[in-house]
Structure 1
């Protein structure tokens, strides 16, 4: 099913930190959701490429849950890692934390799951290595991933387009 030797979750773990500026915020003084979504896609792609060592494309972004606002002047930290793989696809989990840099208070503000597909030199999907969880939290995400995979497949089969 998967190409090569299985790789530990830690190989894909990627962290990105940004400072939230006024141009990143809405009229409430909180970070634009779309800006955060861009960061999530970027850090997820990096994690997926670290795991498989290949070019990747976003196949889906699902389960994006905004839990708390991120305020102007806070640091936003995104942590991403591959939780599960199929033949050519990888599920990536992202947790977003906001930090008040003056008090040190940190809180989880968003979580997300995305799926990326590895591409070969011909631009077509290519096999990826399996992923091996390294701790209990990663094991739980890994064990629950097949159910999320099936939900994504079901959602794709129910897709509707006004042009069809």
Structure 2
């Protein structure tokens, strides 16, 4: 038994299913990107919360890519899991696959990486459990998450200049 409090990425895994209705669609008869982003945010937050068992908030969304549309009447299946745990934050990967319910055809439609921060009841940051990396695939994903975190922190510092311009 692991006594470090570390948790497996599999313990955080979330699967959500959505039916694309006309109210979810744009004038091209496919899901609004913003609606898909909403589902991704919810799915990712559930995964982060499962890992730390605390309230979480979205800190950033990185590398959000729309690969193909999801048509009205099709099924969207979202999968999320924690890829890396830092001190008070976690990186979560989310994928969305679309399924044509009449043919069974499936395709990757959207993918993204998000960072969530764990908060206590007063809104202060709290430590998150470490991630127990059992497979080489999990170790590679965690190393890549570390690299993205370094890049994300650098971009946040660079953004200060344009934020000052926008504040005028």
Distance 1:136 1:107, change over 3 A: farther
Give unpaired runs (5+ residues) of structure 2. none
The two structures, once aligned, show a CA RMSD in angstroms of 1.3
Given the two structures, how large is their TM-score scaled by the length of structure 1? 0.94
Equivalent residue of 2:5, what SS? coil
The answer on 1:59 being equivalent to 2:56 is no
Aligned counterpart, 1:25: 25
State the shift of 1:80 in Å.
0.3
SS of aligned partner of 2:47: helix
Segment of structure 1 superposing worse, 79-88 or 4-13 = 4-13
Find the counterpart in structure 1 of residue 114 from structure 2: 114
CA distance in 2, matches of 1:137, 1:38: 28
CA–CA separation in structure 2 for the residues paired with 1:137 and 1:68: 26
Q: Which is further off, 131-140 or 145-154?
A: 131-140
CA 1:137–1:99 in structure 2 vs 1: closer, same or farther (change >3 Å)? farther
Name the count of aligned residue pairs.
161
Alignment of 1:60-139 (within 5 A): 60-139=60-139
Q: Which moved more, 1:68-77 or 1:154-163?
A: 154-163
Aligned-partner SS, 2:146: helix
CA deviation vs aligned residue, 1:99-132 (integer Å, no higher than 9, x gap): 0111111111111000000012331111000112
Give the match for residue 8 of structure 2.
8
Q: Which runs of 5+ in 1 are unaligned?
A: none
